[in-house]
């Protein structure tokens, strides 16, 4: 289970993404980037954040701590932005928080350097969970205290949006052409050898168990939240077992980038991720 905290102060909205998360302080004296159940993307994005984030953590990949967050919408009453006030009013009770890393920079592979072993593991994991949102345009990686961190996994595990066709997801190809680490000579085969055996039923179930029951209840076709969790386990294990359906395409993308001699993708500027636009 994730730790549970209660928000004590709404600090500021973060305008780096479409879901308009907020920076908030909690009763454990921590500060969190909070994503709201009332956002237009819905609670399934938060389910993906938890299952993918906690799976990554169990595979040894660096992810900031995730917590469930109790929110009183009245805390945002002084926020002048009507959109923010409406979002908070739509998100009473349970929401999702990620530990705020003060001073973190967006990880630019050119500015900070990424070794092939780490690049391979991130690329392999993103292909496993179908993460389409780690491109040079939006790296969804932070650099903090000399270490990289993976964030924002709401665009993964998309099979949950259409369970009737979920079986096809296991063998779906993964388009790595725009992956931000493609130019870092990712050691994909070493990552496959190291990580695939770690993706066990127990590990995936532990990640799914971190999702609150309320976000899995009333799913059409399922009797209860535990049945939904079991379906997540089945899908991720099927994806693991179907690696020869999607790994060759990722290998080809890595080889093509290496043959091109193109440097790692980069943005023209790196800035703290919480800067308001």
Q: How far apart are CA 115 and CA 181, in angstroms?
A: 10
Mean predicted confidence (pLDDT) in 242-269: 88
**Would the pLDDT of 277 be above 60?**
no
Quick one: tokens of 232? 């997540």
Q: How many CB atoms lie within 10 A of CB 25?
A: 17
The predicted structure's pLDDT at residue 113:
85
pTM of the model: 0.93
Sign of the C-alpha dihedral, residues 185, 189, 194, 197? positive
155-192: per-residue pLDDT in tens?
999 999 999 999 999 999 999 999 999 999 999 999 99
Give the neighbor-by-neighbor strand order of the sheet with 147-150: 105-106, 141-144, 147-150
Q: For tokens 């909070």, what's the residue?
A: 34
């Amino acid at each position: 289970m994730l730790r549970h905290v209660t928000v004590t102060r709404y600090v500021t909205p973060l305008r780096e993404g479409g879901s308009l998360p907020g920076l908030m302080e909690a009763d454990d004296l921590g500060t969190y980037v909070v994503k709201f159940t009332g956002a237009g993307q819905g609670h399934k994005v938060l389910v993906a954040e938890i299952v993918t984030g906690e799976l990554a953590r169990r595979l040894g990949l660096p992810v900031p701590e995730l917590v469930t967050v109790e929110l009183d919408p009245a805390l945002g009453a002084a926020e002048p932005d009507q959109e923010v006030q409406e979002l908070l009013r739509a998100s009473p009770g349970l929401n999702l928080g990620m530990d705020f890393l003060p001073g973190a920079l967006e990880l630019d592979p050119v500015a900070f350097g990424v070794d092939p072993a780490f690049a391979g593991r991130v690329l392999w994991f993103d292909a496993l969970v179908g993460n389409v949102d780690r491109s040079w345009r939006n790296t969804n990686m932070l650099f903090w205290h000399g270490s990289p961190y993976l964030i924002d996994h709401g665009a993964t595990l998309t099979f949950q949006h259409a369970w009737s066709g979920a079986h096809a997801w296991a063998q779906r190809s993964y388009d790595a052409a725009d992956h931000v680490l493609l130019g870092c000579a990712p050691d994909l085969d070493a990552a496959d050898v190291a990580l695939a055996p770690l993706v066990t039923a127990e590990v995936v179930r532990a990640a799914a168990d971190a999702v609150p029951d309320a976000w899995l209840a009333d799913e059409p076709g399922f009797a209860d939240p535990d049945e939904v969790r079991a379906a997540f386990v089945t899908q991720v294990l099927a994806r693991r077992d179907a690696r020869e359906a999607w790994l060759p395409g990722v290998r080809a993308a890595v080889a093509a980038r290496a043959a091109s001699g193109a440097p790692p993708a980069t943005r023209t500027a790196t800035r703290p991720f919480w800067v308001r636009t």
